[in-house]
Structure 1
Amino acid sequence: MPDHTLTSLDDLVALYPNPIAPASVAKEIDHVDANYAALIAASPFFVLATNGPDGLDCSPRGDMPGFVRLRDAKTLLIPDRRGNNRLDSLKNILFDNRIGMLFLIPGYGETLRVNGTATLSSDPELCAGFAMAGKLPACVIVVAVESVYFQCSRAVVRADLWNLAAQRDKRSLPSAGQILRAITEKNDKVETFDGEAYDKALPERVKATLY
């Protein structure tokens, strides 16, 4: 059988003969301008991509709109809220400080991409500025912005992402407890999770540990 694996830039480019759209180039800048700042301020959710010694990681980050703040046009500040303490993203940043961010805004078709480098700060004054429900973030991710640009709405439109009528009934999908039980009952090195008890306690546990 013929091998259709792409192995060269020439092979790749040949599949996309149309020239790059002018807007695709013009939209990318090296700082956060007023329009891009408005999108960041409106976003309650972004995905953080990092690289580390164990490979790539993609982590969801969410809070009330405006939780990612601009220190200036070249700097973003992100509080690290409570999570599972795996610290995948943070450990990766210590190893390789390059990051990518993809912001989403409910009801808005375009997404926003930000690339840059990151450092971690536990400065008490900086952390205090992100206090929520009386709790401080353990640290703040400080992002040095290198490129910013919006992504067109095609992916969101194809996914019908913001259509409330298209939302799945969560009961039709495996729950967190079911997933944990299925994995652990096949692993003789760990105790099998009580999936039903885990699911029952999860909503209150999430509520109590948001911050």
Structure 2
Amino acid sequence: MTSRFAQVMFTPEVQLHQQQHGSRDAYSRMADAAGPVRDRIGPDEAAFIAERDSFYVATVGTTGWPYIQHRGGAPGFLRVLDEHTLGFADFRGNRQYITRGNLDHDDRVALFLMDYANRTRMKLIGRARADDSPEMVERLSVPGHSGKIERAVLIDVEAYDWNCRQHIPQLFPRDAVEQALGTLRERITELEQENARLRQR
């Protein structure tokens, strides 16, 4: 966990519960480790983000209710534009526009990026904004994707956190499993053929 993430997330109410359950001392040192400086997206974070084919994004509407949306695309559709900025092409979906409307009320977002195969997750918080400029839409377009891009969405990253592996189920993409099974089936066929030849001898 970064110092900035702790500074933003450890509100007085959170700190009270940390105190009651014995974790406040350790977390307070973490929050005090540096001043309120935005986290920089480093090489490890950029590589992890580039491999993701989906993420979850949370926003809050005028009613105060949170809303979580799943966004998916080809690996790398969520781009690191610089050490403080992410961006992605916002394709036309079911046209509910809940996330888009919520951003007009409150631009703060939280992202969950999951790597189930390696039981790793990264949380990011930041401020999101729409960018309708043709240049940015073109920059964030996804090669081979036939969907209509309605806008680009840019996220100014405030902080991030790498979570522990505990309780993350290990899941694998279907295409990776099918490829592995295909290799195993080929090997089984080879062994069966070799076994048949040995029996004939």
TM-score class normalised by the smaller sequence: 0.5 to 0.7
Asked if 1:122 is matched to 2:128, the reply is: no
Aligned to 1:12: 17
Q: 1:53 to 1:15 in 2, by over 3 A?
A: same
When you count helix as a share of all residues, which structure comes out higher?
Answer: 2
Aligned to 1:71: 81
Equivalent residue in structure 2 for 1:133, among 115, 136, 145: 145
Deviation at 1:113, TM superposition (A): 0.8
Q: 1:162 to 1:124 in 2, by over 3 A?
A: same
Unmatched tracts of structure 1, length 5 or more: 1-7, 165-211
Which of the pair has more CA radius of gyration? 2
Aligned residue pairs total 154
Deviation at 1:121, TM superposition (A): 0.9
Deviation at 1:83, TM superposition (A): 1.5
Deviations 1:34-58 (A, max 9, x none): 0011110111111101011132111
Deviation at 1:77, TM superposition (A): 0.5
Aligned to 2:160: 148
Q: Which has the higher contact order (CA 8 A, sep 6+)?
A: 2
CA RMSD of aligned residues (A): 2.8
User: The residue matched to 1:20 in structure 2 has which SS?
Assistant: helix
Quote the sequence identity (%). 22
In structure 2, what is the Cα distance between the partners aligned to 1:59 and 1:163?
21
Unmatched tracts of structure 2, length 5 or more: 1-12, 174-201
TM-score of the superposed pair, with normalisation by structure 2: 0.67
User: The residue matched to 1:53 in structure 2 has which SS?
Assistant: coil
Deviation at 1:14, TM superposition (A): 4.6
Within 5 Å, give how 1:1-211 maps onto structure 2: 12-18=17-23, 19-20=25-26, 30-54=39-63, 55-129=65-139, 130-131=141-142, 132-156=144-168, 160-162=169-171
In structure 2, what is the Cα distance between the partners aligned to 1:153 and 1:23?
23
In structure 1, what is the Cα distance between the partners aligned to 2:127 and 2:19?
33
Q: 1:24 to 1:42 in 2, by over 3 A?
A: farther
User: The residue matched to 2:41 in structure 1 has which SS?
Assistant: coil
User: The residue matched to 1:120 in structure 2 has which SS?
Assistant: strand
Aligned to 1:5: none
TM-score of the superposed pair, with normalisation by structure 1: 0.64
In structure 2, what is the Cα distance between the partners aligned to 1:50 and 1:143?
12
The 8 Å contact of residues 102 and 113 in structure 1, kept in 2 or not, is answered as yes
Aligned to 2:182: none
Structure 1 residue runs of 4+, over 6 Å off? 21-26
Q: 1:39 to 1:22 in 2, by over 3 A?
A: farther
